[in-house]
Amino acid sequence: MRILFVGDIFGKPGRDIAKRAIPALIQRDGIDFVIANVENAAAGFGITGEIAEAILGYGVDVMTTGNHVWDKKEILDYIPRQPKLLRPANFPSGAPGRGSCIGRTRTGEPVGVLNLMGRIFMTPLDDPFAVALREVENLRAQARVVFVDFHAEATSEKVAMGWHLDGRATAVSGTHTHVQTADERLLPKGTALLTDAGMTGPHDSIIGVDVEAALGRFVTAMPAKFDSAVGGARLNAIVVTADPRTGRATAIERLNLSAADVEALAESQAATSRLSECPTSSRSHSRKTTRIDARRRHGPKRARAHRQRADGRNPPDVRDPDLATSGSRVRSPTARSGTRATPTSR
Choosing from 68, 151, 176, 178, which is the catalytic residue? 68
State the Cα angle at 37 between 4 and 131, rounded to 5°.
100
| CB atoms near residue 6 (< 10 Å) | 31
Q: How far, in Å, CA of 145 to CA of 293, rounded?
A: 60
**Residue 82 burial by Cβ neighbours in a 10 Å radius (0-12, 13-18, 19+):** middle
CA 219 to chain centre: 39
- H-assigned helices in the chain: 11-29, 49-56, 75-78, 128-140, 155-164, 211-220, 259-276, 278-310
Contact 11, 43 (CB under 8 A): yes
Q: Distance (Å, rounded) from C-alpha 101 to C-alpha 143?
A: 10
Question: 51 phi and psi, to 5 degrees?
Answer: -70, -40
- Give ∠ CA 193-194-197 in degrees, rounded to 5: 140
Distance of alpha carbon 63 from its chain centroid, rounded?
A: 12
Residue 218 CB burial class (10 angstroms; 0-12, 13-18, ≥19): exposed
| Cβ–Cβ < 8 Å for 10, 44 | yes
Active site residue 151: no
CB of 75 closer than 8 Å to CB of 109: no
Yes or no: say if 99 and 86 are a contact pair by the CB < 8 Å rule: yes
Q: Which residues are catalytic?
A: 68
